[in-house]
Structure 1
Amino acid sequence: MMIPPSQSLMKYDNPVLVSKNTSAKTPKKTTKPKQNPAIAALGSGGPIPAAPKGKLPPMDSLSNPPPEEILNKILPAREWTENGQLWRQFVSSTPATRPEVENLQGELSKKLQQRQARETGICPVRRELYSQCFDELIRQITIECAERGLLLLKVRDEIQMTIAAYQTLYESSVAFGMRKALMAEQGKADMEEKIQTLEEDKRDLERQVLELKAKCDAVEKRETEKRLLEEKKHSDEIQNLKKINQQLKAQIESIVAPGKK
C-alpha cells in the first residue's frame, strides 16, 4: 500500500510509479517530497535562496505548449520513495471551480489552526502555508493565462528574495548585537577587575594613612614630653640661678655693709 506524502494546499494529480525495486534487502525508506526551497529554508531558519534564473522560457515561447508543460516548469513535481519504489506526483492541470477556491480558503484557515500558527510576528508555519496557498493560486491562474501565471511567479520570487534580504539583515544584526553584548560583558569584567584593584589600593593607602597618623601621634607625644622636660629643666635652672644670684647678692651686701660703717 502506498503511503502518500504530506498533504499540501497545492492540488496534485494522482501519483505515478516511476521505478520499481523488488529487492528484498532494500530498506524501507520514505523521503519527504520536494518542497519549495524558500519554504524549506524558512522552516529551517536558514536564508531563503533566490529564485532560479534561466530555467523558464520567455513568455512568447509559452503560447504554444500545453498547460501541463508550463505548470511542470514553474511548479516542479514532487517525488518520494516507498518500499524501494519511486513515486512522482505532478501538479494538477484541471481548472479550479469557484467552490474549490472557497474550499482552499477554508483549508488554509483549518491548517493554520491545526498547526497552531501564530497570527502575528514571524512564524515559519504560517509562512509555509501561505506559500502553498500562493503556489496554488499561481497554478489556477496559469491554467487560464500563462502570462499572468508567470507574472505572479515573478512576484512570488521577489517576495522570497525580499524576505531573504530581511532575514540576512536580521541575522547580521543579531550577530552584531551578540558581539556588542560580549564586548560589553568583557568590558564589564575588566572594569570590575579594575575597580577591585583600585579598592585594594585604596585599602592599602588607608592603612598607610592610619600607620602614618599613629607614627605622627607618637612623635608628637614624644616631642611634647621632651619639650615639657626641657621646660621643667630650664625652669629649674632659672630657679637655681635666681637662688644663686640672691645668695651672691646677699654676700655682696654683707661685705659692702661693714665698709660703709
Structure 2
Amino acid sequence: MSQQAVEATPTPTTMAGGGGRGMTPKREVDALKRKYIFVDGPVDPEVALIRYDLPFAPSDPKRSLKLRRRLGLPLDERAVDPNVRIVIDSFITPRAWHDEAGVLWVQHGSPHPVSRTETVETHEKLRRRMQELGVQRTGICPLRSLLLAECFLEVIRQVTAECWERGLLLLKIHTERTAAQTAHRELFESRVGHAFRLALKGEKDTSRVQQDIEALKRRTEELAEEEKVLRKECDELASNGEEQMLILEKLHADEITAIKKEGVQKRNQLEQMVALPLPL
C-alpha cells in the first residue's frame, strides 16, 4: 500500500468523471495525477490493511476480464452506490500504474461491506504488522501511528460501504481529529524549538558572561600588580622625602646657628664700640 494514500488528508470531494474530450496529452496526464496516486503496481493484500478492489484497465475492459479469469474470480455483478464510491475515493485515493505494454491500470478502495470474519482478519493483520515492524505499544511511535491511521481508514471504508452517510460523518470526525492532532504536533514542535533556542541563547549568554568574568579577573590581577608597583613607589618617595626633610632641617638648623653666632659676634662688636671713650 502506498504511504501517500494513508497520509493523504481525508477530505470528501466529488470525483470527476472520465477525461474531457479534446484534452491535450499534457492536460490529460495532469488530470490523471489529480485523480490517482501513481505507484509501481497493485497493492499487496498481505501487507495493506485497507481492502482494495481488483485492478481494472479503464481503456481495455478485456484485460480486466482476463485478469479475473486468471485469478479464478467470477464477474462481480454487485451494484455499487455512486455516493459510496465518491466518499471512499475522497479519503482512499485510487491507485494507478502502467504495465509493460503501457496500459493504465486503476485500483480503487473496495466499496463492498465486509463480514465479521474479515474484520477479525484485519485486526489480526494489524497485530502481525505491528509485531513484524517492532512497533512500540506505548509512547510516541510514528510506525504505530501510521498503522493505526491506515486501520482507521479501513474502518471508515467499512462503515461507508454499509451506509455512506455514516461514513461521511465518521470521515468528518476523523478529519477534525487529524487536524487537531496536527495542530497539537506543530504547537509541540514549535514549543520544543523555542525551548531549544532559549537553551542555545542561555548557553551563549553563559559563555559570554564567563568570558566577561575571566576578563574582569585578569583586569583585577593587572590592577593589583599596578597597585603593588604604585605602593612601592609611594613608599620609596615617602622614604626619600623623609631623608630630604631631615637634610633640609639640618641645613636650616645649621644656618640658624650660624646666623645666631654671627648676630652674637655683631652685638659684641657693637657693645665694644659703644664702650670705647670718645676722643677729645
TM-score range, shorter chain: 0.5 to 0.7
Partner secondary structure for residue 57 of structure 2: strand
Which one-letter code corresponds to 2:169 in the other structure? Answer: L
Partner of 2:185: 167
Partner of 1:98: 116
Query: What value does the CA root-mean-square deviation take over the aligned residues?
Result: 3.5
Partner secondary structure for residue 222 of structure 2: helix
Q: Distance in 2 between matches of 1:203 and 1:75?
A: 75
What number of residue pairs does the alignment pair up?
203
Matches within 5 A, 1:1-261: 3-5=41-43, 7-18=47-58, 65=82, 67-83=84-100, 84-226=102-244
Name segments (4+ residues, structure 1) moved above 4 Å: 224-237
Q: Which moved more, 1:79-88 or 1:89-98?
A: 79-88
Return 5+ residue gaps in structure 2 as ranges: 1-39, 61-80, 262-280
Return 5+ residue gaps in structure 1 as ranges: 21-63, 245-261
Q: Distance in 1 between matches of 2:117 and 2:166?
A: 22
Instruction: Report the alpha carbon displacement of residue 118 of structure 1 after superposing the two structures with TM.
Output: 2.3
1:5, 1:80 within 8 Å by CA — same for their partners in 2? no
Cα gap change, 1:197 to 1:150, in 2 (>3 Å): same
Q: Distance in 2 between matches of 1:11 and 1:93?
A: 9
Q: Distance in 2 between matches of 1:82 and 1:185?
A: 58
Instruction: Report the alpha carbon displacement of residue 101 of structure 1 after superposing the two structures with TM.
Output: 1.3
Report which structure shows greater RCO (CA 8 Å, sep ≥6): 1
Percentage of identical aligned residues: 34
- Superposition TM-score, scaled by structure 1 size: 0.63
1:18, 1:87 within 8 Å by CA — same for their partners in 2? yes
Q: Distance in 1 between matches of 2:56 and 2:210?
A: 69
